[in-house]
Amino acid sequence: MMFFYDIFISFKNCIIYYFRNGEAANPQRARKSSLRKSQPPPLKRYINVAVTGPVDSGKSTLVNAMRGVEDEDEAPVDSLGGSSKALPRSYSYPANPRVLLWDLPGIETHEMKQHAYLEKVDLRSYDFFILTTSSRMEEEVLYLAKEILRMDKSFYFVRTKIDIYMRSTKQPNFTQGDLLREIRKYFSKKLQSIGVNIPRIFLLSALQVDKFDFENFIETFNSQF
């Protein structure tokens, strides 16, 4: 009796493995199917990392900088990704072939649009998030952060275009270090207020990768995945 039970269990596991791996080979399909399920498939070939944030916050430029390319046109879009800007696009990550970087469309300010955004990009199907903003902590960024926490997943918080901020901010008694410390403290407080105990915050420029937090960001990312 035990023997037949063992055969039944291993047959069942084979079927589960087959279907999960099928989805893993095609994240687009996995995303669609995860709309129907409460959980994304635990067995996946890729670590799907979503770069998300408001419109124009520097998502695509950051993806390019992470991949070490200057112009999006030079970077071949993975066949897995769509071609429209309104769709998430996937890119390989040269430093780690297990990672797939997803350049998500920008989230818009209006509350209803925020809701629609979650449906459109199916946030649940990603494993990790890089949340970008190019200004102060906007409402939609906090909204995304809360959604990610609700899914029990984590994120890096990236304040992009910090080079512009540094160039345009003139505070006579503040050194660059002071300014960066203030910004970090500001974002830290905001993120802690929604329950992120130890926020991982990077203040960087995707166009000046040898300055600010960019190198630290890449090192941290590479050591985590």
Ligand X SMILES: Nc1nc2c(ncn2[C@@H]2O[C@H](COP(=O)(O)OP(=O)(O)OP(=O)(O)O)[C@@H](O)[C@H]2O)c(=O)[nH]1
CB of 78 to ligand X, least distance (A): 17
Residue 206 interacts, among Mg ion, ligand X, none and using kind-specific CB cut-offs from 5 to 8 Å, with ligand X
Burial environment of residue 104 by CB neighbours within 10 A (0 to 12, 13 to 18, 19 or more) = buried
CB of 55 to ligand X, least distance (A): 4
Which position has the token pair 């500001």?
A: 186
Residue number with CB closer to ligand X (9 or 55): 55
CB of 21 to ligand X, least distance (A): 32
Closest CB to ligand X: residue number: 106
Is there a contact between 204 and 213 (Cβ–Cβ < 8 Å)? Answer: yes
Residue number with CB closer to ligand X (24 or 104): 104
CB of 114 to ligand X, least distance (A): 14
Closest C-alpha to 75, from 67, 86, 83: 67
Residue numbers at the binding site for ligand X (CB under 6 A):
55-61, 85, 106, 160-161, 163-164, 205-207
Question: By CB under 5 A, is residue 90 in contact with Mg ion?
Answer: no
Residue number with CB closer to ligand X (77 or 164): 164
Residues in the chain: 225
Residue number with CB closer to ligand X (27 or 58): 58
Residue 184 interacts, among ligand X, Mg ion, none and using kind-specific CB cut-offs from 5 to 8 Å, with none
Is there a contact between 53 and 144 (Cβ–Cβ < 8 Å)? Answer: yes
Residue number with CB closer to Mg ion (125 or 134): 134
Is there a contact between 100 and 67 (Cβ–Cβ < 8 Å)? Answer: no
Cα angle value 124/120/112 (rounded, 5°): 105
CB of 163 to ligand X, least distance (A): 5
Burial code (b: 16+ CB inside 10 Å, e: under 16) for 179-206 equals bbeebbeebeebbeeeebeebbbbbbbb
Among 34, 48, 60, 90, the residue binding Mg ion under the rule CB under 5 A is: 60
Burial environment of residue 62 by CB neighbours within 10 A (0 to 12, 13 to 18, 19 or more) = buried
Chain positions contacting Mg ion, by CB under 5 A:
59-60
